[in-house]
Chains A and B, each alone.
Chain A
Amino acid sequence: MMMTHRERILAVLNHKEPDRLPLDLGSAIATTMTAKAHERMRAYLGLPSEPPPATFSRRSSTVIPDEAILRRFDVDARPLILGNPDGRPDREVSPDAFVDEWGVTWARPEGGHFISTDGPFYHQDEPTREDLEKFPWPDPADPGRYRGLRERAKELHEKTDYAVMLNLGVGPVHQCQFVRGYGEWLEDLLINRAFAEGLMDRVVEIWVEITDRALEEAGDSVDLVMYGDDVGTQKGLLLRPELYRQVIKPRHKRMADCVKRHGKPILYHSCGSVYALVPDLIEVGIDALNPIQVTAAEMDTRRLKREFGRDLIFWGGINTQRVLPLGTPEEVREEVMRRIEDLAEGGGYVLCAVHNIQPEVPPENVVTMYEAAQEYGR
């Protein structure tokens, strides 16, 4: 029996076999396209180059893909994104740098992505919990975040049959690294634990309040929520599994519990090799894992499915580091077949690229990926 797009995603989230393999592009902050990749795709498909697409994330130079592209690939989900805070909008420093509401400076090289380059706790040798007390935190209640959210969610939910994905902010690992410095915060975990934990608590409190408010506002029209917090690297975990369990897991649990109080499934994103933490992530309460970075250590899709397929939905999986940018269309096709074979049995798989489609990825490879997924995902 033919399912609607939303039914298809919900079937997979409930570990039921869908009528065909569900597909994603652009429903989540890490499953979309950069502006340049989108521009190339429009040209390749003969679509008009105007108007400019809506921005998904300014930081990662990504856009919400045109409906024409999403329909062509028959994508099953659509994004719902919070607004910007009224009280503390981005402060522009130059065309290539701005400061966000956390006091984090984002800068980009010419034509590139923004990355965090400075933050309020960057230059302190040994920041303390008192420093946290003094800090002017973002206001979770800022009305700018929620303006029009209910209406946008309702429209998506009632006027389309797509699954509605609420995109939330990053978790404590990322946010702490933004405000304190990537390496500095990792060092704090070992040598300034009180500060590291205090900072995480503030971040999680703000996150939980924003999530509560967003889901109270729009929850009726939301099918699932997505957020990320990278704990993996190419070669293994970012930190000792015991350290994750001791310090980060309880905070991740607080976040997941908040979403679960609203009865929504969770799509959690962590790049890199996270195999060793999958049982913990399941315990925390996530339903689906993105992006399944297949080129990272230990991210063998067949083993992941065999060991965790009963409890976990896989979302992503198409090799973004080699095959999409550098492979031939034939290699893309083989990659799609392989991941479907490894992950899709009995439902439990939503296919998309491992990360946002980057500028150098040939549009032909992206089209091949979705066409092959349609062909083999029946």
Chain B
Amino acid sequence: MVDLKMLAEAVIRGDAKECARLTQEGLDNGLSPQVLLNDGLMAGMAVIGERFKCNDIYVPEVLIAARAMKAGMVILRPKLAETGAKPVGKVVAGTVKGDLHDIGKNIVCMMLEGAGFQVTDLGNDVAPERFIQAIKEQEAQIVGMSALLTTTMLNMKGTIEALKAAGLREKVRVMVGGAPVTQRFAEEIGADGYAENAAVAVEKAKELLAVH
């Protein structure tokens, strides 16, 4: 019998090898992929998110936890597809045009994946048209934009305007974040949600889609 708690703890410790081994063992022992995901990998990432939020752990611990989670996900993903499991929500995310900084955005994407979202990461220097195309293709419910620079932060507004012009603004919730971004700025540009860090971003995304 695989201990799901051990799987969650392997994620928390950032032990990728153990995570892969326990995930495989779980499947071999007949546990459903959804249970391994929810009560193993996601349970581990939920603890990581909480600890990160209160500065009990820092970026390095989050990165190795996400790496461990991915090692388990590689094994689970095909099985989840077979069972037709639905994600909590669909998110398209990227660093806005003119900005190549991506570590913060990457951490947000990892945390969202760790909370059961399907995340399409468009990378950095993402032009409004690329956000629009991906939202359509993925039928995303949330678009997340990140910026590190005050200069490029202003491109978030342009992207929101492009969403309006493309008739998508009412169909997708807009989340923004990144070092210089604030709640006030998010309101000024007409975004739906702002999160000050990756752990809060997960809560915000769930709140926007009314999932728990």
Contact = CB atoms under 8 A, between A and B. Distances in A.
A238 B65 CA distance: 16
Pick from B57, B106, B150 the residue with the most CB of A within 10 Å. Answer: B150
What is the interface of chain B mostly: helix, strand, loop, or mixed? loop
A109 B57 CA distance: 33
A183 interface: yes
Interface in A240-258: 240, 243
Given A235-B197, A238-B58, A321 B150 contact: yes
Interface in B7-47: 14
Contacts of A115: 100-101
B59 to A, nearest CB: 6
B149 interface: yes
B55 interface: yes
A220 B154 CA distance: 45
Nearest to A233: B59
Contacts of B61: 190, 240
Contacts of B67: 187
A321 B67 CA distance: 32
A321 B179 contact: yes
A239 B59 contact: yes
A235 B196 contact: yes
A361 B151 CA distance: 8
Contacts of A320: 150
Interface in A104-128: 107-113, 115, 117
Nearest to B16: A191
B120 interface: no
B78 interface: no
Contact of A234 (B55, B58, B64, B179): B179
B60 A358 contact: no
B60 A243 contact: yes
A239 B58 contact: yes
A240 to B, nearest CB: 5
B74 interface: no
B85 interface: no
Contacts of B100: 107-109, 112, 115, 117
Contacts of A295: 180
24 contacts: A109-B97, A109-B125, A110-B98, A111-B98, A112-B100, A112-B125, A113-B149, A182-B103, A187-B63, A187-B64, A189-B60, A190-B60, A190-B61, A233-B59, A233-B179, A237-B58, A240-B57, A240-B60, A240-B61, A295-B180, A321-B179, A326-B150, A360-B154, A361-B150
Given A187-B64, A358-B150, 8 more contacts: A187-B67, A190-B64, A235-B197, A239-B59, A321-B179, A322-B180, A359-B151, A360-B151
Interface of B: 14, 55, 57-61, 63-64, 67, 97-101, 103, 106, 124-125, 149-152, 154, 179-180, 182, 185, 196-197
